[in-house]
């Protein structure tokens, strides 16, 4: 009976957290941090008030002529090019992209982004890192660091 009572209490607590969760992110509220990957802003993440268990969102910003860090991870990643243009190298293949194009990065493939344009490149990345974290299966390898952060 004690274990079931804990299960019910957990469910009630989760419901409270869902009700308190942030829902909206305004562009002007994004906080970019300098990381090994370059400039990143966490958009949807439990660490900033969202009660998301499966999907996370980050925004990367790469200055003209610069590149992100190279990395790979065990979670899915879908990228929307919000502004700018460039290329991504996934393993040994190069893909050219423009504003509003969408990229699907395969799980555990090395990838790196390059801004080939004249304005900042912004990429909104939707990923399943949180699901993998919650399963205890999150793994990210960092290769070459960004050349500007």
Give me the residues of the chain with pLDDT under 50, please.
none
Q: What gap in Å lies between CA 17 and CA 63, rounded to an integer?
A: 37
**pLDDT tens digits, one per residue of 111-137:** 999 999 999 999 999 999 999 999 988
Task: Name the pTM for this structure.
Answer: 0.90
SS3 for the chain is CHHHHHHHHHHHHHHHHHHHCCCCCCHHHCCEEEECCEEEEEEECHHHCCCCCCCEEEEEEECCCCECCCEEECCCEEEEEEECCEEEEECCEEEEECCCCEEEECCCCCEEEEECCCCCEEEEEEECHHHHHHHCCCCEEECCCCCCC
Q: What gap in Å lies between CA 33 and CA 43, rounded to an integer?
A: 12
> What is the structure's pLDDT at 149?
78
Hey, which residues does 110 pair with through a beta bridge? none
Q: What gap in Å lies between CA 75 and CA 127, rounded to an integer?
A: 7
> What is the structure's pLDDT at 1?
83
> What is the structure's pLDDT at 31?
96
């Amino acid at each position: 009976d004690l274990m079931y009572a804990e299960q019910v209490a957990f469910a009630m607590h989760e419901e409270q957290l869902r009700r308190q969760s942030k829902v909206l992110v305004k562009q002007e509220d994004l906080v970019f941090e300098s990381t090994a990957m370059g400039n990143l802003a966490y958009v949807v993440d439990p660490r900033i008030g969202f009660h998301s268990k499966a999907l996370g969102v980050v925004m990367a910003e790469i200055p003209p002529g610069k590149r992100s860090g190279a990395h790979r991870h065990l979670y899915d990643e879908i990228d929307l090019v919000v502004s700018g243009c460039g290329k991504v190298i996934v393993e040994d293949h190069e893909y050219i992209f423009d504003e509003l194009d969408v990229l699907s990065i395969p799980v555990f493939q090395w990838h790196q982004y390059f801004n080939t344009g004249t304005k900042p490149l912004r990429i909104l990345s939707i990923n399943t890192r949180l699901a993998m974290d919650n399963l205890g299966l999150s793994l990210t390898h960092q290769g070459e660091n960004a050349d500007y952060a």
